[in-house]
């Protein structure tokens, strides 16, 4: 892979991560939203995961992994009410949160590439135990996005292909 293409991929990841952080801060409003790169690529997911496909100028997927505590926390912020259990309303609000991230990331990537050839799939919510990521894209980076003390989402950005501007 050429250095130019590698730089483009890293810029895409930066744009996507910024969209995630900005959206999370807007919803959570804690002032504590931050991210760190997870050294090893995250292959095992928490008990809840949301998959989001990217196609067009950039091809790949975003994988959000979160535990029940983080799911209820985000749902309570989205719905502006206390959430005690995971139910259809909780998962629906989480999917809407990911839709907001998707919209922000899409706009930022389209602006960066000056191209309207980019689409994101609807979020796919998965629930289970011992879920693993089994993909082999060229560029994969995993981040832990902290929303508040002890509450985080693990985000994997897996890019298969990025076309030059």
Domains of the chain (ranges plus CATH)? Answer: 3-162 (3.40.1550.10)
Nearest to 94 by CA among 134, 44, 153: 153
Given pLDDT bands bounded at 50, 70 and 90, which one contains residue 142? confident
Q: What does the alpha-carbon distance between residue 158 and residue 136 come to, in Å, rounded to a whole number?
A: 8
Assess contact for 8 and 113: CB atoms under 8 A.
no
Phi, psi of 64 (to 5 degrees): -105, 125
Residue range 84-137, pLDDT digits in tens: 999 999 999 999 999 999 999 999 988 988 877 888 899 998 888 777 766 665
Q: Please give the distance of CA 107 from its chain centroid, rounded to a whole number.
A: 15
Report pLDDT for 98: 93
Neighbours of 21 (CB within 10 A): 18
Report pLDDT for 71: 93
Q: What is the DSSP letter of 117?
A: -
Q: Please give the distance of CA 92 from its chain centroid, rounded to a whole number.
A: 16
Rounded to 5 degrees, what angle do the CA atoms 13, 51, 85 make?
Answer: 120
Residue range 5-55, pLDDT digits in tens: 678 888 888 999 999 999 999 998 878 899 988 865 556 666 888 999 998
The secondary structure element, H or E, covering residue 90 is: helix 88-113
pTM as predicted: 0.87
Rounded to 5 degrees, what angle do the CA atoms 148, 62, 139 make?
Answer: 115
Model confidence at 75: pLDDT above 60: yes
Q: What does the alpha-carbon distance between residue 121 and residue 138 come to, in Å, rounded to a whole number?
A: 20
Model confidence at 1: pLDDT above 60: no
């Amino acid at each position: 892979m050429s250095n130019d293409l590698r730089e483009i991929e890293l810029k895409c990841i930066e744009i996507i991560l910024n969209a995630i952080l900005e959206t999370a801060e807007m919803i959570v409003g804690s002032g504590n939203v931050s991210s760190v790169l997870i050294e090893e690529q995250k292959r095992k997911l928490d008990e809840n995961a949301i998959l989001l496909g990217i196609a067009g100028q950039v091809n790949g997927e975003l994988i959000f992994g979160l535990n029940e505590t983080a799911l209820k926390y985000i749902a309570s912020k989205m719905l502006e009410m206390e959430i005690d259990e995971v139910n259809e309303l909780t998962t629906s609000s989480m999917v809407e949160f990911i839709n907001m991230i998707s919209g922000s990331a899409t706009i930022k990537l389209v602006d960066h590439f000056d191209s309207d050839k980019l689409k994101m799939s609807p979020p796919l919510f998965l629930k289970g135990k011992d879920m693993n990521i089994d993909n082999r894209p060229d560029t994969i980076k995993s981040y832990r996005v902290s929303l508040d003390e002890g509450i985080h989402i693990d985000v994997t950005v897996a890019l298969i292909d990025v076309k030059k501007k």
